[in-house]
Amino acid sequence: MPELPEVETVVRGLREPLVGRTIIGMWHDWDKTLHSPSPQEFAARVAGQTVRGIGRRAKYILIELEHDVLVVHLKMSGRLYVASAEDVYDADRWVHVRFDLDGDKQLRFSDVRKFGKVYLTDDLSRLLGHLGPEPLDQSFTLAGFREGLKGRRRSIKAHLLDQEIVAGIGNIYADEALFRAGIHPNCMAGELTDEDAELLHLTIRDALLAGIKHEGASINWYRKADGGKGESQNHFYVYGRMNLACRNCGATINKIRVAQRGTHYCPNCQPERIY
């Protein structure tokens, strides 16, 4: 599933071709993709609204309209891109929602697995109010992060995947951040020292910024808004590198299951601790 760096890359790629365009109409062929409101109300409300800006909250794409916000969650296989009406792409085979724009353009949402969701709302807090702080924002403070760790009897990997704790981190960048901090993914969150927490607070940001720099990881379905692949997968320290040599120490990267997710770590750089 695309995480914060992948979604941020898509957002940046959509700004130039989409901001300032007016939505003329909407087509869809899979009702479950349109989470809310009803397809009929959705089409009626969105028509005639102009795109004022594009942003991101956690793993959600936020397309700011005049009166509403068009919210897209890519889930496992979603792709969002702008194309001329006459253009045909391979991804078009799985387009389930399309917004017709002025200038003979279209905003297309392609989703092979059909897990993606599209929302139209005038109240973002009702939809996204449960999310924790943005890890690249000033709201993600060290004090708040440390406080959230206290007494937690679950693995630090599971803790980082909790979107109410910190928004936008998924399996990939949790593994990368933990490696950079030298913390074993099975370590109990509540047993981290203040020094551990401070270092992890920094490496979360470092891992995410590296992901954005390399425009996301095109491991499975993820593609940028222009259809190109990201390069982050070529720069990972541990994720997807099972049985390969650690870039830091040369030990063999292991893969285990933590929080029901495949988890990569270096046994030498991230040793298990006895408390």
Say which CATH number the domain at 47 has. Answer: 3.20.190.10
Would 271 be classed as within a structural domain? no
Q: What is the pLDDT of residues 46-105, one digit of tens each?
A: 999 999 999 999 999 999 999 999 999 999 999 999 999 999 999 999 999 999 999 999
Same-domain status, 167 and 63: no
For residue 39, indicate whether it is catalytic.
no
Would 77 be classed as within a structural domain? yes
For residue 146, indicate whether it is catalytic.
no
For residue 75, indicate whether it is catalytic.
no
Q: What is the DSSP string of 27-50?
A: EES-GGGEEES-HHHHHHHHTTPB
- Catalytic annotation, pick one of 21, 45, 57, 59: 59
- Catalytic annotation, pick one of 255, 261, 267, 273: 261
Would 136 be classed as within a structural domain? no
Would 256 be classed as within a structural domain? yes
For residue 157, indicate whether it is catalytic.
no
* Domain span including residue 89: 4-128
Q: How far is CA 268 from CA 88, 181, 193, 251, in A?
A: 49, 13, 19, 6
Choose the final residue of a domain: 95, 128, 161. Answer: 128
The structure's pTM equals: 0.95
Q: What is the pLDDT of residues 153-192, one digit of tens each?
A: 999 999 999 999 999 999 999 999 999 999 999 999 999 9
